[in-house]
Chains A and B, each alone.
Chain A
Amino acid sequence: MGMQNLEELFQQKIDKEVKIEPKDWMPEAYRKTNLRQISQHAHSEIVGMLPEGNWISRAPSLKRKAILIAKVQDEAGHGLYLYAAAETLGQSREQMINDLHSGKAKYSSIFNYPTLTWADMGAVGWLVDGAAIMNQVMLTRTSYGPYARAMVRICKEESFHQRQGFETLLVLSKGSKEQRAMCQDAINRWWWPALMMFGPRDSESTNSDMSMKWKIKRKTNDELRQQFVDMIAEQVKLLGMTLPDPDLRWNESRNHYDFGEINWDEFWQVVKGNGPCNKQRLDARRKAWEEGAWVREAAQAHANKQRTRKKAA
């Protein structure tokens, strides 16, 4: 069968909503795009453990501490499913991790912002997980089978995290003057970076066209961002807080909220590595990996010895 035929058959499957599975033929660019996206997503889960992990030791009650630890642990679990999904495309987890550490592979820029107060635990859950869910719900229907199935499990946990985040802020919003100020401040700092999570404007996005055709993505960056703004602009009212955007207002004719312009210079600076925590996050990941090397070697050596002993017995 000619290459062109294979590509046609592949596209027909996509058009008929048949999932692509690891052993199916796929165009090299499809494999690469999925590998890049899934591994990037896995890295985001793992790096994403750091900003929230920052508050585990200082959580203000035992219940909050347990919830926060469980949440950060869930992210480790998500990382694990996603690395496994990415491995079906022919790259080892170790290689992916090396690419993260060398800076070759990216992760979501949002995790390059610092978590400065306890209220950030709420804002991250509500806004960051909230923005992630928009994308992830869409990805439960993505064309690559292992990715879509991983996303189904992840979405269930993420929507729980988002509610927990909102509830954390709700308690602060009903609390003391200092707690309310802490709540508003966290929303102010996380709002714009959360909007940036949807990526460049559609007119500037390089990977979008093919990803839509192959149904890796099903909605554009701008569509998802609008959906998010519409949702959060309503929810913030329940907190009695505001979003830091003077241009935010309901537009009757569009049936959507209008909102102000993102600071794209900041967006690109953080992507390029100049965010407030890019260096700290990568250093922390590298340190954990390097300091764990002797542990991984010991486990391997022990397993090898066990095998040899079994054979000898």
Chain B
Amino acid sequence: MQQALLDYTLYLADSALILGQRNSAWCGHGPVLEQDIAITNITLDLIGQARSLYQYAAQLKGGEATEDTLAYLRSEREYKNCLLAERPNGDWGQTILRQFLFSCFQRELYTWLAKEKDAILAAIATKSLKEVNYHCRWSGEWVVRLGDGTAESHTRLVTALENLWPYTGELFKGADYEVALGLDPATLHTSWLSAVQSTLEEATVSLAPHASCFMQLGGKTGVHSEELGYILTDLQYLQRVYPGCDW
């Protein structure tokens, strides 16, 4: 049970960290200064969530574990983030849609966890929900802007949806540790889908072509895309080259 809770906490932490790491590449490179600042706020929120979750995981794991040993010294096969988080940034459309799909999921998930019996996860979820509500609003507004904006932005959003949709199924498929904890994420699917659908409708983008799309699985159980190795190589570089140092 303890192991399942640890794995589950790591899944939540890794997903927040990897998406934060991805988003952070926009800092200094955004399409307009105000939005550079906005996405960087989201990045900081995600890293903040990851830190709280890793601190809890370190406590569950015991021994010498810290937030940094968990983030910096676990390998590709030990990371449990969802595949969606590690998808490349692509263009602004793909980054926005990735954020929107993920944030809407986090909103459902954290609302649910906030009422769960694990007091620490509930507290982290409650605190994070305020941020996540903003992430949903900000990314949702951008989804509408891009879908409704120009022919080019519409096409780019549709392409992003094609690229990302196959990675959404995993969010609702319980991994072994979720099953062990009796947490079935499938129960979140209906409300997530209706929120996503209503924004996409406003953006004049149809989900119909993706209705029976094949869903990729694996991230939550440590079987990732080729992308993750490069993300971790970057993220963990200093800790790997100079082991055991304080920074």
Contacts and interface: CB of A to CB of B under 8 A. Distances in A.
Interface string A275-313: 000000000100111011111111111100100000000
A62 B29 CA distance: 22
B32 A298 contact: no
Contacts of B238: 58-60, 118
Interface residues of B, number: 48
The 10 A-B pairs at the shortest CB distance, nearest first, are namely A292-B31, A298-B149, A298-B153, A49-B28, A60-B238, A60-B247, A295-B31, A53-B28, A301-B149, A302-B145
Interface stretch (B38-46, B75-83, B111-119): B38-46
B29 A298 contact: no
Contacts of B150: 294, 297-298, 301
Nearest to A182: B242
Given A61-B68, A64-B247, A179-B242, A50 B28 contact: yes
A50 B30 CA distance: 12
Contact of A305 (B29, B92, B148): B148
Interface of A: 46, 49-50, 53, 56-66, 69-70, 72-73, 76-77, 79-80, 83, 118, 171-172, 174-176, 178-179, 284, 287-289, 291-302, 305
B215 interface: no
A58 B36 CA distance: 20
A79 B37 CA distance: 11
Given A57-B25, A294-B153, A302 B33 contact: no
Interface string B39-75: 0110110011011001000000000000110011000
B71 A62 contact: yes
Nearest to B43: A69
Say what secondary structure dominates the interface of chain A: helix
B24 A56 contact: yes
B67 A62 contact: yes
A59 B21 CA distance: 11
Given A50-B28, A76-B36, A302-B145, A66 B47 contact: yes
B211 interface: no
Contacts of B144: 302
B145 A292 contact: no
B239 interface: yes
A298 B72 CA distance: 39
Given A80-B37, A171-B247, A296-B32, 10 more contacts: A56-B25, A57-B234, A59-B238, A61-B68, A61-B72, A62-B50, A73-B40, A76-B28, A295-B35, A297-B152
B146 interface: yes
B53 to A, nearest CB: 11
Interface string B139-156: 000001110111011001
Contact of A175 (B43, B234, B239, B245): B245
B164 interface: no
A49 B91 CA distance: 20
A53 B245 contact: no
Nearest to A93: B33
B180 to A, nearest CB: 27
Contacts of A72: 27-28, 40
A298 B145 contact: yes
Nearest to A80: B33
Contacts of A296: 31-32
Given A69-B44, A294-B156, A77 B72 contact: no
